[in-house]
Amino acid sequence: MKKHSRRRFIATAGAAASVAILSPSLFDITSVFAAPFTRRDIGSLSAGDPIITGYKTAVTAMKALPATDVHSWSYQAAIHGTFASSSHAAWNTCEHHTKYFWSWHRMYLYYFEKIVRKYSGVPGWTLPYWNYSAADQRQLPAPFQDATSSLFVPDPNRPTSWSAGSASLPPAHVDISAGMAQINFYMGASSSLEGNPHDNVHVDIGGPSGWMGNIHTAAQDPVFYVHHANIDRLWNLWRAQGGGRSDPLGDSPWKNTLFLFFDENKNTVTTKGCDVLNSAAQLNYNYEGEPPEVTESCLRLFFPPWIFQIVNLIIWPGPPVEVGGERVLIPIDIKAMKERMLSAADSSSQTLLLIFDKVEAERLPGVVWEVYAGLPAGKTPDPNGPYFVGTMTLFSTGIRSQKMHNYKPAEFQFALDRVLASALRTKADKLEITIVPSPILIDGKPTKPRVASPARIGRVSIAIENQQKQTK
C-alpha cells in the first residue's frame, strides 16, 4: 500500500481522547490532522452535520461521472459487484464467506472513504457507521429516508417501507452475541458475524428484489457503506475482547494476497491483509466510542494460541430439507450420542455445533429464517426464549442464479451449548430442529413472511468442535 502522509501532532492520543478532540471542531484543519479520522455513529448526527451533507454532495458528484471513471458511483459499486457483462479492473471482487470477508471490505471502504472525502468538500469527512444493534437504531437512518437526497433510493430498489421509516430490523437479526463469543477467526467470528448481522441486514433491507439484497447491486445503495462501516467496527470490537482472539497471522495467503483498488487520485493500489490489521495505526482511522484498539503485526512470529478441530457426531440420514414460508421440523435421533453431547455441552474446551451444509436456492429467497433446537411441539418460536440458536440467511453464497461470483453452496454453524445443556437432560431421544421464516417488522410488528424462492439444506449434522491450547 502506498504510504499516506500522516501528520499526527498528537501521536499518543487514544481513541477516547481523539473523539473529544475531533467532535467540537471537526473542520478545524489542525485538529483534523492531529489524530486518526474518527468514524462517527450515524445515530448521533443531525441532518445538517457535514458528515451527512458531505456524503450527499459526494454521491451526487460521483453519480455525474462517466461509468468508466474509477471514481464514478457505478464503478465503485461494481468493484463490489455488478451484473454488467463487460469487465473492468477490480470489478466483482468482493469476498464473501471466505476468510477475506473482513479484510477485503476494510480495504474497499478505506479507498471509498478517501474518494468520498475528496468529492464531499469536507476535509475531515469520514464514513459514519450504522449501529443497528442498538434498540433505537433499527430503522433506516433518517438521512437515507429523505426523498430529496442523493442518499435516497426509490422503490423497488429499496422498498418504500424502509424509506418511509415504518420497517425495522427484528432484534434477533442484529444480535452480535454469538459471533462476538467466538474465539476462532474463520470459520468462527468472521463467518458468524457475516451471517448475523451482516447478511440479515442486507436481506431485510433489500428483500428479494431490492439492491441491498443482492450481492451484485448492494453497493449502489449509499446505505451499504454505513452498514459496512459497522461490520468493520465489529472486527475491532471482536479483537478488543482478547481471550485468544486474533487475526489469522499464521496464514500466509490471508496476510499476503493482493487486492486491487483505486485511490483518491485514481492511482491503482494493491493492498494485502498485513496492511489493514490495525485501523488506527496503519490506516489512520478509528471508531467513535471504541475501546483501545488491539494492535497486531505481521512482522512478529505468530503462534496461534488455539487450534480447532471439528468431529462429526451425527449426520442426519433424512433427505435434503426444503425450507420456505412454513415451519419445518427436523427430528434428529440423538440416542446413541447423548452422553457425548452432554459432556461436550458441559466442557469449556468443546462446543456442540449444529451444522447445515450444501444450503442452496435457485434464486434469492429474500428472507431470514430463525433456527431453534429443542423447541417443544406447539410452542411459539421466540428468539428471546431458550431454544433459539441463530438465523439462516442466503445472501452471497448458495444462490444458483448469482453467476458473477464463484458459486459455492452456503454453510451455517450454530453453537448449541447454551440451548442444550438443559434440553439434553430430558428423557427425549430426539432433538427437534425447527426452522421458521422471520420477517421484518412493520410498525414494530411482524409481517407475513414472503419467501421468493425456497432453500434446500443438503446436509444436517451435529458435531463437536474441540478447542485446544497450543503449547510451544
Q: Count residues contacting ligand C2O (CB under 6 A)? A: 8
Distance CA 100, CA 104 (A): 6
Between residues 254 and 387, which has the closer beta carbon with respect to ligand C2O?
A: 254
Task: Please report how close the Cβ of residue 228 comes to ligand C2O at its closest, in angstroms.
Answer: 6
Please state the closest distance from residue 74 (CB atom) to ligand C2O, in A.
16
**Distance (Å, whole) CA 243 – CA 241:** 6
Nearer to ligand C2O, 58 or 219 (CB): 219
The CB-of-201 to ligand C2O minimum distance in angstroms stands at 8
Please state the closest distance from residue 105 (CB atom) to ligand C2O, in A: 6
State yes or no: residue 39 binds ligand C2O (CB under 6 A). no
Burial letters for 123-134: b for 16+ Cβ neighbours within 10 Å, e otherwise?
ebbbbbbbbbbe
Cell representation of residue 97: 464467506
CB nearer ligand C2O, residue 202 or residue 233: 202
- How far is the C-alpha of 423 from the C-alpha of 376, rounded, in Å? 10
Contact string (CB under 6 A) for ligand C2O, positions 215-254, x = contact: ---x---------x--------------------------
CB 239 within 8 A of CB 294: yes
- Using CB under 6 A as the criterion, what x/- string covers residues 61-80 for binding ligand C2O? -------------------x
Q: Would you count residue 173 as binding ligand C2O (CB under 6 A)?
A: no
Considering the complex, state which of residue 372 and residue 395 has its C-beta at the smaller distance from ligand C2O: 395
**Comparison of 159 and 324: residue with beta carbon closer to ligand C2O:** 159
Q: What are phi and psi of 282, to 5 degrees?
A: -100, -30
Distance, in Å, from the CA atom of 302 to the CA atom of 168, rounded to the nearest integer, reads 43
Least CB distance to ligand C2O at residue 220 (A):
12
Least Cα distance to 310 among 141, 461, 466, 422 occurs for 466
Is residue 375 within 8 A of residue 181, CB to CB? The reply is no
In order of 164, 168, 226, the CA distances from 147 in angstroms are 9, 18, 18
Q: How far is the CB of 99 from ligand C2O (least distance, A)?
A: 14
- Near ligand C2O by CB under 6 A: residue from 118, 202, 233, 245: 202
Nearer to ligand C2O, 198 or 233 (CB): 198
Q: Is 140 helix (H, G, I), strand (E, B) or coil?
A: coil
Nearest distance from residue 73's CB to ligand C2O, in Å?
Answer: 16
CB of 240: closest distance to ligand C2O in angstroms? Answer: 22
Min dist CB 57 to ligand C2O, Å, is 24
Which of 198, 216, 245, 255 forms a contact with ligand C2O (CB under 6 A)? 198
Comparing CB distances to ligand C2O, the nearer of 61 and 202 is: 202
Instruction: Kindly state the smallest distance separating residue 218's Cβ from ligand C2O, in Å.
Output: 6
For ligand C2O, the closer of residues 80 and 106 by Cβ is 80
User: Residues 238-256, buried b or exposed e (16+ Cβ, 10 A)?
Assistant: bbeeeeebbbbbebeebbe
Q: For residue 456, list its beta bridge partners.
A: 322, 360
Using CB positions, name the residue nearest to ligand C2O: 94
Say whether residue 399 binds ligand C2O (CB under 6 A): no
Give the nearer residue to ligand C2O in terms of CB position, either 71 or 198: 198
Instruction: Return all residues near 371 (Cβ < 8 A) that are at least 6 apart.
Output: 354, 388, 389, 390, 391, 392, 412, 414, 433, 434, 435
Backbone angles phi, psi at 116, to 5 degrees: -60, -40
| CB-nearer residue toward ligand C2O: 213 or 324 | 213
Q: Per-residue x/- marks for ligand C2O, 80-119, CB under 6 A? A: x-------------x-x--------x--------------
Amino acid at 454: P
Q: Does position 138 bind ligand C2O by CB under 6 A?
A: no
Counting other chains too, the contacts that 245-250 makes at CB distance below 8 Å and 24 or more residues apart are 245/183, 245/185, 245/189, 246/185, 246/296, 246/302, 246/304, 246/305, 247/185, 247/273, 247/277, 247/296, 248/99, 248/185, 248/186, 248/304, 249/296, 249/298, 249/300, 249/302, 249/304, 250/302, 250/303, 250/304
In the complex, least distance from residue 128 CB atom to ligand C2O, rounded to whole angstroms: 16
CB of 220 or CB of 246, closer to ligand C2O:
220
Residues contributing to the site for ligand C2O (CB under 6 A):
80, 94, 96, 105, 198, 202, 218, 228
